[in-house]
Amino acid sequence: MRGHPWKGALVLVLVAAGLGAGSSSASAAPVAVSLCAVPGTATMAGGASVPIWGFAATCANPGLPGPVLTATVGDTVTVTVTNALPAGHDVTFEVPGIDFAAGPDSAPPGGTVTRTFTASAPGTYLYQSGGDAGRQVAMGLYGALIVRPATAGQAYPSADSAYDVEAPLVLSAIDPAFNAAPETFDLHSYRATYWLINGKSYPDTAPGITAAGGQRLLLRYLNAGYDNTTMSLLGMHARVVARDARPVDGDAEVAAETIPAGATEDVIATVPAGAGPSSHGFPLYNRQQHVTNGDQTGVSPAPASGGGMLIFIHH
Amino acid sequence: MRFTAVLLLVVTLCLASPGRANAIPADAPPTGMVCTPGAVSGATHTFDLVAETGYIDTPDGNSVFMWSYGEAGGHFQSPGPVLCVTQGQTVVVNLTNNLPEPASIVFPGQDAPVTASGGAAGLLTTEAAASGGTVQYSFVAGSPGTYLYESGSDIAKQIEMGLYGALIVRPAAGPALAYGTSTAFDPSREYLLLLSEIDSDLHHAVETGTAYDVNARRDRYFAVNGREFPDTIQDNGSGLLPNQPYGALVRIQPTTPTTAPALIRMINVGALNHPFHPHGNHTTQIAQDGRLLPVPTEHFGETIASGQTVDFLLRWDDQDNWDPTTKPLPVPPPNYRDVFFKDANTWYGGSPYLGHKGILPSGVVTQNICGEWYFPWHSHALNEFTNYDQGFGGMATLLRVDPPGGCFAAPATATPLGSVLKSGTVAGLAADDTTYYAVNPRTTTRPTATTTAQTSITVASATGFPAAPGYYARIDNEVVRVTAGAGTTTWTVQRGQLGTTAATHASGAVVTALATDFTAGFTGVPAGSQHLKVTYKGANCATTTAATCTALTTNLPQQTVKICDWTVGGAAGCSTATSAGWVTLPAPPAQPQGVGSTDVGATWTLPASAQYISAGQVKVLVHTERYTSPSPAAFSTWGNLLALTYDAP
Ligand SMILES: [Cu+2]
């Protein structure tokens, strides 16, 4: 398992046994990982506890998002998913962009499904459960799958994807009213009030992402939310190296970039040596101003916002 | 387009605002991006800004409470001032915060450190305290490009309330490049389109101190440069919109071999991603977020995401090259949907020919000046194409394509003045073709015989001859000069002029003027039009009778084209060929010109235009004379083309 360079509890990192960045295509071997879709709770910024359905390595204490899975190109990966959801909710394990070997894709409650694929193309992939027409994703059944190229320290085979520090950033949203009643909630009235990066909203995204001046920071965006999300990065541009796990021709330098719902995008920023605009560092935040934690009932001039999808990059 | 009630409200607000009458310089051009000058000292460019409250007007008559940045001591404006700086300058922004809560500025896309002094640490950046606090930001302007600046405090509320503006970094190489040498553009055609949205309920809650939930935003107004359509197409600094100084009409002329493209700088300061598309045209995207794209891309519609900037180069090619003369119908006319804007309230000119007006469909009222084209350019999220749910409106403007060289006008009237119509009608002057408007010199007769010494002669009629003395006339092959009695039928004459010899003439001899004059009148020229150009092309032919132009290649008639200066004597000042109001069109080319039986064409440009336009009228005189021996024979003047081009306001 590769050491993760960001500090603290930014993300629930649980790399499955047998998978890891240390492997290479030369040593590719059949590897196996287990996931369990299971009800649990997540604590929102401000302390509210919200019911979730999430993935976990064992059928307890699911994370939001699920564990980060990593594989190396050439690996044959077998994912066994156990369904510990309530009755009536089949789990369908899917990873857009990954072709699984033929076989069942769903597990009934109490059952398991095993899906196998060969990690053929490096990149950032979003895994999720396709069950219940999106309600399972909205409840939290999503996570990141990273397929690494043979060359360590790169996101893709191309040398211009080399990086010093990486951070997967799973973007999502929560409407607590939906989570309280996922089976009966009228989705026409869905109105998210928590906006999450790796399951947390600011200030719980602290201490953020640590990178020294001059280091190349790889941000792997995965949009598990329901809307196209534009992230604004203050104090630096980032170079778009891939979208949906495919390298792009002619890298664009961006300061505000839209990640469509369900899509992934990899960008690399060289962290400036100087100070960021904030005493916390360089803000990376949802430019659609989804920076709230729960309902806002304030009266101006009290602040309406100051949480949500915001994280700081700092030296 | 706006109602009196709105105007009155605007005036009231204007009086309530301190400082200047408008937020932009009085000499700002009517269209195009307007920079706020700031103060330049050495390599430092300083802007003193204030965060303050004010109101904007919407086309449906609403008035919306806004927060905005403005120039300190200046007029409230929305959006904030356009800050134009040069790469490498040290930019200093002094912010005074007159809002009731801490406020700040962040500069997305500026990768050099932004240093703050004063103020207090906030979440995203250093803030100025509420109600009069200050903070100073400084940074070295980085790579050339289009950027925004905006609040870094309580952004879900403050950006929505209007705390945003444009920051333009120009390359050190000069203002005619957007980025590098591949991005040359015409600096007179540099446009900014800044997109934003407004939930007026939120603004009302902020104004009245009532509760609001930014998660429940529902935007009702969608703006370009702080205005909603149709206000977007009003001029920069329009007195109708004193707090919204920036127009969004984009004007362009068709591409020529020497044309540089227009530059369209787009910024989305709103929270929503806006799909913005021009009808009937593609634009070339060259940059995003102030960085050149590795490969330019062509777009018919492009989504400008929240917080993004995108730059486009725009050329306009009349790909079908419709021309009523050289490429007449049938050619595919433009899709009506592309050039209509709203039924019965359209800018459609009724003709598929750029620069020509035609017959309008039944029930359509046009605001088209001279056959220019208007293409809608709008958010294709059609709920944003509204003003409070009523369409059309909102996030839309127009792309106006002016005819090559400007608006073109053909004469509406042509009148012989001191001459007689030989053949043709005013239509003969409309195009460079084979139809002509031809005049002969005025003639009359001597009722009695003439002796060689006689100096007082009578004529059958003086009509059409000059009313003032000093002109020449021909009797048979002798030229006489009229020294008195002009305007009457009894003339005092000097005999044997211009190298001819006094001779006897039989009773009934024909008396012929030695000059031809005709005037042509143009109508519908808008007040405020600029850069008037008069084009005349024509010939002089050796006889007054032949149906085709007989050769005239020596001792050429001398032609002078004049324009009526209405300020000299009004219409009366140009009533006769020798009236005082006629002004010889200034060189180049110099006048008079010798013009024989081969068409000669020339275009004269007037440096100033106002005195030549009166109630939409422009009047031109073509005067041609041939006095000199040995050939005083009468000639005819054949006008082929008489045209006026101008830049309509
Ligand atoms: Cu359209």
Q: Does this chain's domain A30-155 share its CATH topology with A160-314?
A: yes
So where are chain A's domains?
30-155, 160-314
Per-residue CA distances from B75 to A149, B60, B263 (Å)? 58, 23, 28
Confidence at residue A189, expressed as pLDDT on a 0 to 100 scale: 93
Q: Is B221 within 8 Å of B64 (Cβ atoms)? A: yes
- Higher pLDDT among residues A293 and A20, named by residue: A293
Of A253, A289, A291, the CB nearest to B291: A253
Confidence at residue B513, expressed as pLDDT on a 0 to 100 scale: 87
Global pTM? Answer: 0.82
Per-residue CA distances from B111 to A271, B47, B147, B178, B184 (Å)? 10, 20, 12, 18, 24
Describe the strand order of the beta sheet including B83-86 as a list of residue ranges: B83-86, B164-170, B145-150
Confidence at residue B488, expressed as pLDDT on a 0 to 100 scale: 92
CA dist., res. B544 & res. B561, Å (int): 21
SS3 state at B205: helix
What's the CA-to-centroid distance between B519 and ligand 1, angstroms? 46
Of B130, B155, B216, the CB nearest to A305: B155
Q: Which residues of B touch A190 (CB under 8 A)?
A: none
Chain-chain contact of B214 with A306 (C-beta, under 8 angstroms) = no
SS3 state at B428: helix
Residue B110 per-residue DSSP state: -
Confidence at residue A250, expressed as pLDDT on a 0 to 100 scale: 75
- What are B282's two structure tokens? 């593609």
- What are B645's two structure tokens? 């081009």
Of A230, A287, A289, the CB nearest to B214: A289
Q: In terms of CA atoms, which chain B residue is nearest residue A239?
A: B291
Domain A160-314 bears CATH identifier 2.60.40.420: yes
Q: How far is B301 from chain A (nearest CA, A)?
A: 16
Confidence at residue B376, expressed as pLDDT on a 0 to 100 scale: 87
CA dist., res. A37 & res. B558, Å (int): 98
Q: Is B244 within 8 Å of B24 (Cβ atoms)? A: no
CA dist., res. A72 & res. B379, Å (int): 44
The torsion defined by the Cα of B457, B463, B465 and B468, in degrees rounded to 10, comes to: 90
Q: How confident is the model at residue B311 (pLDDT cuts 50, 70, 90)?
A: very high
What's the CA-to-centroid distance between B378 and ligand 1, angstroms? 6
Chain-chain contact of B106 with A234 (C-beta, under 8 angstroms) = yes
What's the CA-to-centroid distance between A281 and ligand 1, angstroms? 42
User: Read out DSSP for B229-265?
Assistant: BTGGGSPTT-TT-TT------EEE----TTPPPEEEE
CA dist., res. B467 & res. B327, Å (int): 46
Residue A25 burial by Cβ neighbours in a 10 Å radius (0-12, 13-18, 19+):
middle
Q: Which residues of B touch A239 (CB under 8 A)?
A: none
Query: Looking at the predicted structure, is the pLDDT value of residue B253 above 90?
Result: no
> Which residue in the block uniquely carries the two structure tokens 């403005």?
B70
Residue type at position A42: A
Share of chain A above pLDDT 90, in %: 83
Q: How confident is the model at residue B339 (pLDDT cuts 50, 70, 90)?
A: low
The closest of B193, B194, B325 to B250, measured between CA atoms, is B193
- What are B423's two structure tokens? 């053949």
Q: How far is B27 from chain A (nearest CA, A)?
A: 35
Query: Looking at the predicted structure, is the pLDDT value of residue B480 above 50?
Result: yes
Q: B407-445 burial, b for 16+ CB within 10 Å, e for fewer? A: bbbbbeebbbbbbbebebebebbbbeeeebbbbbbbbbe
Query: Looking at the predicted structure, is the pLDDT value of residue B621 above 50?
Result: yes
CA dist., res. B104 & res. B566, Å (int): 56
Chain-chain contact of B308 with A230 (C-beta, under 8 angstroms) = yes
What's the CA-to-centroid distance between A255 and ligand 1, angstroms? 28
Chain-chain contact of B123 with A258 (C-beta, under 8 angstroms) = no
What's the CA-to-centroid distance between B80 and ligand 1, angstroms? 28
Q: How many contacts, defined by CB atoms under 8 Å, are there between A and B?
A: 161
Class of domain A30-155: mainly beta
ipTM for the complex? 0.90
Instruction: Find the distance separating the first CA and the last CA of chain B, reported in whole Å.
Output: 17
CA dist., res. B7 & res. B648, Å (int): 25
Chain-chain contact of A305 with B213 (C-beta, under 8 angstroms) = no
**Quick one: which H or E segment has residue B566?**
helix B566-569
Q: In terms of CA atoms, which chain A residue is nearest residue B287?
A: A252
Q: How far is A217 from chain B (nearest CA, A)?
A: 15
CA dist., res. B311 & res. B182, Å (int): 13
What's the CA-to-centroid distance between B381 and ligand 1, angstroms? 9
Q: Is A19 within 8 Å of A71 (Cβ atoms)? A: yes
Helix intervals (H) in A189-298 = none
Q: Which residues of B touch A238 (CB under 8 A)?
A: none
Chain-chain contact of B210 with A299 (C-beta, under 8 angstroms) = yes
- Higher pLDDT among residues A40 and B14, named by residue: A40
Q: Is A211 within 8 Å of A282 (Cβ atoms)? A: no
CA dist., res. B375 & res. B316, Å (int): 12
Confidence at residue B337, expressed as pLDDT on a 0 to 100 scale: 58
Q: How far is B119 from chain A (nearest CA, A)?
A: 12
The closest of A265, A271, A268 to A234, measured between CA atoms, is A271
Q: Which of A230, A289, A292 to mutate to test the interface with B (most CBs of B within 10 A)?
A: A289
Chain-chain contact of B290 with A289 (C-beta, under 8 angstroms) = no
Q: Is A238 within 8 Å of B313 (Cβ atoms)? A: no
Confidence at residue B292, expressed as pLDDT on a 0 to 100 scale: 95
Q: Which of A287, A290, A293, A315 to mutate to test the interface with B (most CBs of B within 10 A)?
A: A287
The closest of B438, B641, B432 to B543, measured between CA atoms, is B438
Of A191, A251, A274, the CB nearest to B215: A191
How many residues are given for chain B?
649
Q: How far is B234 from chain A (nearest CA, A)?
A: 29
Q: Which of A44, A195, A221, A305 to mutate to test the interface with B (most CBs of B within 10 A)?
A: A305
- Residue B6 makes CB contacts below 8 A (sequence gap 6+) with B57, B61, B240
Chain-chain contact of A291 with B156 (C-beta, under 8 angstroms) = yes
For β-strands A194-197 and A123-129, DSSP reports them as unpaired
For the stretch B32-67, pLDDT in tens is 999 999 999 999 999 999 999 999 999 999 999 999
Lowest mean pLDDT among A23-32, A46-55, B274-283: A23-32
Chain-chain contact of A304 with B156 (C-beta, under 8 angstroms) = yes
Q: In terms of CA atoms, which chain A residue is nearest residue B126?
A: A278
Chain-chain contact of A289 with B160 (C-beta, under 8 angstroms) = yes
